[in-house]
Amino acid sequence: MKNKKAASKLEDYATRERNLKSYIKTFTDIKRANIVELNDPYGPPINESEYEGIVVSQETYETALRINEIRVNKSFKPLVIIVIPIIKDKNNIKISSTSIRENLI
């Protein structure tokens, strides 16, 4: 996270996890979700068979496909992949966490 643009404006993991849990609770039972801190592009699903799905952006969809390739090679079931679309502003520019942190939006 140190290498991200405007990294000084990033909240720590505990704060982001707490906020995410609060958001998830607004529409489903939090017990249905497993929030995992990622320290590499693939995360635990390449080594743990019990994962069922993954939520990715359009930009990280290819990584999700690679995760499924690795899982299948290990005889794990492939993950259900849910792709979140890119959202653009009124000028048709992608809204990203970086642009938000840099106060460009």
5 has pLDDT over 60: no
pLDDT at 32: 87
**Interval 69-98: pLDDT, tens:** 999 999 999 999 999 999 888 989 888 777
55-66 pLDDT per residue, tens: 999 989 999 999
Which stretch of DSSP H or E encloses residue 63?
helix 61-73
Q: Give the chain's domains with CATH numbers.
A: 7-101 (3.40.50.620)
CA nearest neighbour of 57 among 36, 87, 79: 87
- pTM of this prediction exceeds 0.85: no
Confidence of residue 12 (pLDDT cuts 50, 70, 90): confident
- d(C-alpha 49, C-alpha 102), whole Å: 38
CA torsion, ordered 25, 34, 83, 75, to nearest 10 deg: -150
Residue 79 to residue 95: CA distance in whole angstroms: 27
Grade residue 23 by pLDDT with cuts at 50, 70 and 90: very high
